[in-house]
Structure 1
Amino acid sequence: MDVERVLRLASDVELAAEELMADREEIVNLDRRRNANREALRATRKTNDRSVWTLCGTMFVKMPRGDFDAMLKRDQKRIDAEIDALRDALPRKVDELQRLQSEKPSGAEAFAKLKPLDKNELKLATKP
């Protein structure tokens, strides 16, 4: 049935759009985390202490500055890889969304060409 096809198409468009927005939001969140790591690395370089305090989960841990820097650098590389993977997938997802949005269910062309009645036509249509 044609109504089922229209509903399935609308559902597919909605799912593709949600997935695209979720990926974009994830990129923003990862970028914030990457910036926080940069700030932490910069802050540790300014200090002369051999060890630093860091928050791991729900507790503070004191660790050697070299280990902390190495941990942050590994985390930076992982975050960069995740951001790159998400950005590489975005064009494909945008293309898919555009393809779904441009797909017209049968009969939609006729509705797209309809124009509203102007004032004179409306008056003529409502006269008994």
Structure 2
Amino acid sequence: MPYVVWVAIALLVVLALVLAAGASRLRTLSRRVGSFPCQARPAGDPHAPWVVGIAHYAVGRIDWWRCWSLAPRPARVWERGRLVVTGRAPLDQAGQSDQVLVRCRYDDKDFELMMSSGAYAGLASWLESAPPGRRDLVV
């Protein structure tokens, strides 16, 4: 067989392996206990694109993973003591009334999260269950 055919076969095998690794990573992240779908974007620009991700409660922090990535580490980590919810608003996007827009601040950086109302209830409970003296984290 010509050299070009072998290169094409090798590229297809590599592509299949990358897709399988990505699908396995996404499945593993979404099936963890304490994980929930959560989209993120910088605050202040309503036209900024949402980045689809999966958030996961860890000990004293939330790890946020991009869905379409092969990174072995979370894209963002928010420690409970430094994360503040500054506002929330229900969304009605294409008939999905269960979505909530959550405005947050972390180390003087504002950003927005979009999640289900159930996920927001969990986030608010998690923040409010902080150690004594740190109950001002949710508006």
TM-score range, shorter chain: 0.3 to 0.5
**Structure label with greater radius of gyration:** 1
Greater percentage in helix? 1
| Greater relative contact order structure (CA < 8 Å, 6+ sep) | 1
Greater percentage in strand? 2
Give the TM-score normalised by the residue count of structure 1: 0.33
